[in-house]
Each structure stands twice: as C-alpha cells, then as structure tokens.
Amino acid sequence: GAGVSQSPSNKVTEKGKDVELRCDPISGHTALYWYRQSLGQGLEFLIYFQGNSAPDKSGLPSDRFSAERTGGSVSTLTIQRTQQEDSAVYLCASRRRGDTAADTQYFGPGTRLTVL
C-alpha cells in the first residue's frame, strides 16, 4: 500500500489477556519503529528494527512486551498478561533508511488498545 497500515484499529481486551498488534510498513522501508502514546503524554519509543540487525529493544517497558519483524517487512508487537496501564495508542512508523539523519518517519494510524 501507499502508507503504513496497522491492525486492528481498535482492540478492547480484559486484564491478563495477551494481545497482538500488527504493522505493515511502506514497501521498501528498512527501518521500523513502535511507539506508545498515552493520553496527555508524548510518543514513547518502544522498539526499533533496522534491516537484519538486532533490534533496539531499549524502550520496551517490561518483559511482557515483545516484538518481531518477519522477512524484513511486517512486524507484530505482542503484549502478554495485559494490565490497565497498557491502555494507549500504539503507533508504528517506517523509514526509508535507518542510518541517515535526514530521513523522516512515516506513521501508521495506530491501534487504540483498551484494557478493562
């Protein structure tokens, strides 16, 4: 597609359940980022994938969060044993090249996660 897509757009789950969020980056973009945006807060960096390199997981808030990127394209963010504080909008962004400062990130529409 022309832009970054994410699914589902909305997800409501019960506390303690696992959820999977999907991101399809722009074709040919080698860099992929996951962010979390809570109400009234800025975008919080979670994880970064660049080509075949080991991902930068420094932003993941706990070991309940994990992500993978298969075939250098689609990425899945998994949250295990969800907690109410995990409720937020999860945004994915992709970038054409990962190591050049001038390349900007293009964001998907986000997945709004609500944990009851």
Complex with other proteins: residue 4 or 115, whichever CB lies closer: 4
Complex with other proteins: residue 20 or 103, whichever CB lies closer: 103
Complex with other proteins: residue 32 or 115, whichever CB lies closer: 32
**Residue ranges binding other proteins (CB under 8 A):** 4, 33, 35, 40-45, 48, 50, 56, 58, 91, 98-99, 101-102, 104-110
CB of 56 to other proteins, least distance (A): 4
CA angle at 106 for the pair 104 and 110, rounded to the nearest 5°: 145
- Measure CA 18 to chain center: 15
CA torsion, points 115, 40, 59, 81, in degrees to nearest 10?
A: -10
β-strand 75-79 against 19-24: which pairing, if any? antiparallel
The Cα 26–Cα 5 span in angstroms is 8
CB of 43 to other proteins, least distance (A): 4
Complex with other proteins: residue 72 or 109, whichever CB lies closer: 109
CB of 63 to other proteins, least distance (A): 19
CB of 16 to other proteins, least distance (A): 28
- Cβ distance 73 to 94 under 8 Å? no
